[in-house]
Structure formats: structure tokens, C-alpha cells
Chains A and B, each alone.
Chain A
Amino acid sequence: MSVWDGFKDAALGRSLVERIAERLDALGATERQPVRLMEVCGGHTHSIFRYGLATVLPPALEFLHGPGCPVCVLPMGRIDDCVAIAEDPRVIFTTFGDAMRVPGSRKSLMQAKADGADIRMVYSPLDALALARRNPDREVVFFGLGFETTMPSTALTVLRAEAEGIANFSLFSQHVTIIPTLKAVLDTPGLTVDGFIGPGHVSMVIGLRPYRFIAETYRKPFVVAGFEPVDVLQSVWMLLGRIAEGRPVIENQYGRVVPEDGNQRARAAMDAVFEERERCEWRGLGSIDRSGVRIRDRYARFDAERRFSVGGAVVADPQACQCGEVLTGTLKPWQCRLFGNGCSPETPVGALMVSSEGACAAWYQYGGARRGAA
């Protein structure tokens, strides 16, 4: 048995499920008045659906699938800017695969590629830098997106481009930060969350300290969790314990990966390259102050937004789209009026249907078992 198999151990899982049920009973939670836990990382959303965790946990526990998948919160205006850059014949536009199918107001990057734009999927920003080295007569643009998980590797790539004097590489930054996002969720009127399953890989970079305000100001427990089924179940069990004790604290279930202080070198690279943006648009949530980052003036020549004149227009979400209500947990994915009714993984309208980490795509793909049984 490898070390990973232990975190997929079914017997351990079953025993955790029993203990979770006991704690829910002790709390007096019911299907009509459930304990509501929000996960804010798409990886957790994916695990919950992939292993069918919601189908074995009592209905007195409700998962809210928060805004943790960076692809899912990509606003249309930003995709439009990317498409405009990609359609410049000088440009080789590089991106992670997930972003390819996100709808823009005109077209997705996938459609732009089919229409002739030179768009290539890469697995790391360093692959984009290698492309720039090999194609000195082309402009290579990397679409940087994601929370603090992916931000350090993008920052290090910019630093390396500068060190090597690679002039034909630039970055389109759609990086976002977790703390303002969590604040926005906590400040959402009418939203009731009893605790948070905290993001594992973001915390590996930022550590635990930045989350303290959640316990101190908002009085909610927060457990940084790993991504295997046993990790998620143990985190749920821990959160229920803190709720029962009325003791909101920040805890770390994912100690095998997340150090208390995070990764200082990664943060130093991020701080060197990026600075806060005043405003940042989110699909479904509107603008969240200081929730995104842009490239500092010192590295302006690596900033694709300054290098190419892009519109930067804010494009409203499609009118019928209820991604915002799903993101904040007000609606279940299948309660959205477009779910399976014009919006599906084949033809996504809202971004939550695009990525396998999006709550709607996960429901669409994996969720049928529970609803069918209900």
C-alpha cells in the first residue's frame, strides 16, 4: 500500500462517516436545518463529487461550493482581451488547458484557435518561456491565472525571463488572491456558512496566519484540508467539533503538505513581481476590491496588458446566468434556471459549467447519482 492509498482507505472513511453522523446528531442538525460547510477550492469540490462523499454523508450536512476554481470566475471581458491578443498574427498565445473553453462575449480561446489564432496549451509557464526562446521572431504571451497556488511559478518565470533577457515573452495576469475573496463571501448578505474547508495548495504558499480574521472577526471555524476523500471527511469531522464547542479556530488537517508559515520564497517571488489591483472583476460576483494582482511597473515590459492595447472592457454576465447565486451557495447548481437547459459542459453559458472543478460541471457529471436516488 502506497502512502496515498491510506487517504483513500474505505474502512477509515466509513468510520469517519459514522463519527460525522454522531456529531451532526449531537448538534441537532437536520435536513431542513443542516450544518452548512463551504469549500473554497475547486479541488475539494472535485473530490466531493468524484468520490460521491455527499451521497454517504447525512442530509443534515450541506456542502456549499464556493468561488475556488479560478477558471470558473473568469469574466467574459478578460477572455475577450485574451482572444484579441491571440488573434494578433505576431502572437503565440499560451494557456493552461482549462481556460480554452471558457466562453467570451465573442468566442472562446478554443474557437479562436479553430479560426486560425496560434494558441497552444502548456502545462507550465516555463513551457511558454521555452517557446519564446525557440521563436525569437514571435511574441509569446502566457495567460497566468489562478490563486496563490499558481502565482509563484508565474512570478518566477517573469524573473527568469528578465534574468535571461528574453524580450519576446509577456504575461497576461488574471491571478487572484484568496483573502479578499473569502471576505467578499463572508460579507454576502443572507449567506449562512457554519465553517470552511480551507484550500490546501493556496495555504501551502500563504500559510495559516492570513486566515485568522475568519475566526476572530467572523467567528467561523476554518480547516485547511487535503484532497483525498479521507482528508475531506476528517476536515468535516474537525469542523463539526469546533462548531459544537463554539470555538472558532484556524486548523491544519493538511500538515503533510502545508507548513504553518507557508512558503516564504514563493511569497517573495510573488511580491517582487505582482502588486494589488484596485478592482478585479469576477464572473458571477461582480467586482471585488483588491482581489487581483497585476505586474509591477518594474516588470512592465513583461506585462501583456501594456504591451498589447486590449479593450479591458467589463462585459456583463449573460442575463439568465445564475453563477453568482451558485458561487455564494444561495442556489444549488441544479436549481439554476439554465442548468441542463441551455447550459451544459458541451455548451457552457456560465463558467461554473466549464471546468471539472466548477460546481455545475461537477454536478452535471457526477451528481446524478444522488438526485436520481432522491
Chain B
Amino acid sequence: MNAITPLRRRRLSVPTVTLSHGGGGTAMRDLVEDVFVSAFAGDAAAPLEDQARMDLAALAAGGDRLAFTTDGFVVDPLFFPGGDIGTLAVCGTVNDLAVGGAVPVMLSCAVVIEEGLAVDTLRRVAASMADAARAAGVRIVTGDTKVVARGACDKLFVTTSGVGVIRRGIEVGIGKARPGDVVLVNGPLGCHGATILAARGDLGLDADLASDCAPLNGLIGDLLDAAPGTRLMRDATRGGLAAVLTELAEASGVGVLIAEEALPVTPAVRGLCELLGLDPLHLANEGVLVAVVPREQAAAALAALRAHPLGGQAALIGGVTSERPGRVVMDTAFGQRTIDLPVGDPLPRIC
């Protein structure tokens, strides 16, 4: 690991990454400094160390527990409407911290690069990471760079880890939902999954789609201020809303009843799902917060979400019940059906 604190600015002169950039010599140092240090640390001059160092007292001032998480990113394509692998890598880890009630503080960033990747591609990704980190109010303080032979990875893999501080008094947990609670989401479902499917280009579709990729920590801060009794929060990533609801029903030993009519879904996502036989509840999101709050705080929670730029279409989608513990049921306006986990990647139907 190299702590990202620059000594002096170097500039790469070659257009593509080669195996020599992973060799630990001057080529690697140039790559790290040109691409990552300059993006993450700006012009601050400090020697490169093998680790980031942090002041304990400053952390402790923000709360009484640390939160720590890690996530790998392998999205294909690297760039898509609404974001890229860099935005995802920062937002994903920030959100994993924030849904635990933590204020995200700092991230690490490790990249595995396939030889032959354009240096400019790497610069774009690093710039996106820096932008996303700025938007989320976190710093990227340490990182690592590896280069592997062609075929040993697909273009670029990114891993971020993150540390946050959990506010005193906030106690959220997947097992804390109680009958009578309500379920809220901050915005439309399935945008990220649908965008990636369309961006792969196999479908030949030209749809009005963009990923919802966004850091949710600001929104979550507002929610917790308005509804401090919030029972649990999750960002509905892989497996979509269905996975989060199923998990909370099982962990809390409760039933969940949602109304299909209340679910926010954009016409573009709905159209894509109709066409391919997919379910918006199963599609991945990168900026959708699912929160369970006590009924008496529901109105305040919903108002707080709607007042935030990422919560304009926030909705109360259902409630927690004591019936059918462990199960998620949806009113479809025609009848009821059980919501279950998708088996694997959503595969399009043939007819």
C-alpha cells in the first residue's frame, strides 16, 4: 500500500499502461503520481508513505463507533450514462458506510489494470473518483496499483474500502424492523441495472436511461435528523429492492407488504422491463435508499427525503406486518404475489 500524499508531480509520457507500470520502479511511480495522486491529493506536497495515518481524537469527536467496509467493482462497460466505474467505486463504499448510520470519513482505492488500458481512461476514472469523493465529503487517503497481463482481468477492476464514524445514539440494524413500521424509498427503482443492460449495446436500444449512482450520505444525514428512530437502512444494489426486503423480513422475523402502485419506476425502466421480461424490483440500483421507520416518524422522514435533491420522488411503498414472517408480499392491484430473490443475473426471456 502507498499512502497517497505527493512529493512532486510527474507526468506520464506513454498513451497506454504496460506491465512495466506495475513493476515497482519509476514507471509505476510516474503512473501513481500522474494519475492518482494528482487527482486525489491535489497539490498538497507530502512524502509517499505505505499507509494513511489518522488522528483518533478527531474521529472520536464524530461519534462512538467506527464503521469499516470494502467493495470490489468490475462493471462492464467502464463508462455509462450517469457515471463510470470510478463514481461507482466511491459511491458504493460511501453508501455502505452511510446506511449503517455512519458518517463516511476516508476511503482507500486499489486498482487492478489490464495492460493496454489507455492512460487517459485511467485519468477519467480517477477524476470521477475525485469528483464523487468531493461530493460525498470524503478523502481518498491510500491506495494500490497492480498491472496484469492482457486477459488476466477485464480492463480495470477497482476496490475501495472505507472508514466512517457512527453517530452517538443511532442504532440501525437489519433485524430491527417491527410490525407497524413503514418502508420508504428515496427514488425510482432499477435505473442502474437497466442502464448497464442497455449500455452493453447488445440490445440495440436507444432509451432515455441514466444510472442513479450517487452518494447517499447527505440524504441519510437529513433522514436521521428528521427520524432518529429509523430502524434500518439499506442501499438496494445487486438483487434490487426484492433482495433488501427479503433480507429484512428474514432477519427481523416480520412480514413486509408493499403496493406495486406506490413503487416509483420511470417509464424508460418500465418499458425496458416489459420488453425483456425483467422485474424492476430485481434490477440493481446505486443510489436507492430503503429505510424502515416507525410509523409515527413516517411523515417527518418522508418530508426530509423529499426535501433533498436525491429524494424528490421519495415514496412510502409499504409496511411491516406480523403476518407471514420472513415473507415479502406485493399487492399488484389485481391480486397478491410473493416477492422472492432473483436466482442470478436477470436473463431476458425469449418469447
Contacts and interface: CB of A to CB of B under 8 A. Distances in A.
A55 B351 CA distance: 25
B338 interface: yes
A51 B335 contact: yes
A338 B349 CA distance: 25
User: Chain B's interface: helix, strand, loop or mixed, by majority?
Assistant: loop
B349 A369 contact: no
Contact of A345 (B334, B337, B343): B343
B338 A147 contact: no
Nearest to B346: A97
Nearest to B242: A365
A368 B255 CA distance: 13
Interface string B49-60: 000000000000
B350 interface: yes
B226 to A, nearest CB: 33
A367 B338 contact: yes
B351 A42 contact: yes
Contact of B351 (A97, A122, A150, A367): A150
A51 B350 contact: no
B333 interface: yes
B329 A369 contact: yes
Nearest to B279: A50
Nearest to A57: B335
A355 B347 CA distance: 9
B171 interface: no
Given A356-B277, A365-B340, A368-B327, A56 B335 contact: yes
Interface in B313-351: 324, 327, 329-330, 332-338, 340, 343-344, 347-351
Given A201-B351, A356-B277, A356-B349, A229 B337 contact: no
Given A345-B343, A368-B327, A53 B277 contact: no
A121 B202 CA distance: 10
Contacts of A334: none
Interface in B156-196: none
A50 B349 contact: no
B274 interface: yes
Contacts of B350: 70-71, 96-98, 145-146, 150
A2 B271 CA distance: 11
A13 interface: yes
Contact of B334 (A52, A357, A368, A369): A52
Contacts of B261: 10
Interface in A5-56: 8, 10, 13, 42-43, 46, 49-56
A10 B340 contact: no
Interface in A42-82: 42-43, 46, 49-57, 70-71
B351 A13 contact: no
Contacts of B14: none
B347 A50 contact: no
A70 B351 contact: yes
B347 A121 contact: yes
Contacts of B351: 42-43, 70, 146-147, 149-150, 201
A355 B338 CA distance: 17
Contacts of B203: 123
Given A70-B350, A122-B202, A123-B203, A46 B334 contact: no
Nearest to A201: B351
A4 B349 contact: no
A346 interface: yes
Nearest to A355: B349
Nearest to B267: A2
Nearest to A200: B351
Contacts of B349: 42-43, 46, 98, 355-357
Interface string A306-335: 000000000000000000000000000000
Contact of B337 (A97, A98, A369): A369
A189 interface: no
Contacts of B327: 368, 372
A97 B351 CA distance: 12
A25 B347 CA distance: 41
Contacts of A71: 350
A364 B327 CA distance: 13
Among B279, B330, B350, the most chain A Cβ lie within 10 Å of the Cβ of B350
Given A100-B347, A356-B277, A10 B338 contact: no
Contacts of A101: 343-344, 347
Counting chain A CB atoms within 10 Å of each CB, which of B274, B277, B324, B351 scores highest?
B351
Most buried by B among A46, A52, A356: A52
Nearest to B350: A96
Contacts of A56: 334-335
Contacts of B334: 10, 13, 51-53, 56, 229, 233
B332 A51 contact: yes
A50 B348 contact: no
Contacts of A233: 334
A4 B329 CA distance: 24
Question: Which of the listed residues B202, B334, B347 has the most CB atoms from chain A within 10 Å of its own CB?
Answer: B334
Given A365-B340, A368-B327, A97 B347 contact: yes
Nearest to A56: B335
B337 A366 contact: yes
A146 B348 CA distance: 14
A366 B340 contact: yes
A152 B323 CA distance: 49
Looking at B202, B333, B340, the one whose CB has the most chain A CB atoms below 10 A away is B333
Interface in A339-374: 345-346, 355-357, 364-370, 372-373
Interface of B: 202-203, 261, 267, 274, 277, 279, 324, 327, 329-330, 332-338, 340, 343-344, 347-351
Given A56-B334, A149-B351, 5 more contacts: A51-B334, A52-B335, A53-B334, A98-B349, A122-B202
21 contacts: A4-B274, A8-B333, A10-B261, A10-B334, A42-B349, A51-B334, A52-B330, A52-B337, A56-B334, A70-B350, A71-B350, A96-B350, A98-B350, A101-B343, A101-B347, A201-B351, A355-B349, A356-B349, A367-B338, A369-B336, A370-B336
Q: Which 10 A-B pairs have the closest CB atoms?
A: A52-B335, A97-B347, A10-B333, A368-B338, A55-B335, A56-B335, A52-B337, A149-B351, A366-B337, A51-B334
Interface of A: 2, 4, 8, 10, 13, 42-43, 46, 49-57, 70-71, 96-98, 100-101, 121-123, 127, 145-147, 149-150, 201, 229, 233, 345-346, 355-357, 364-370, 372-373
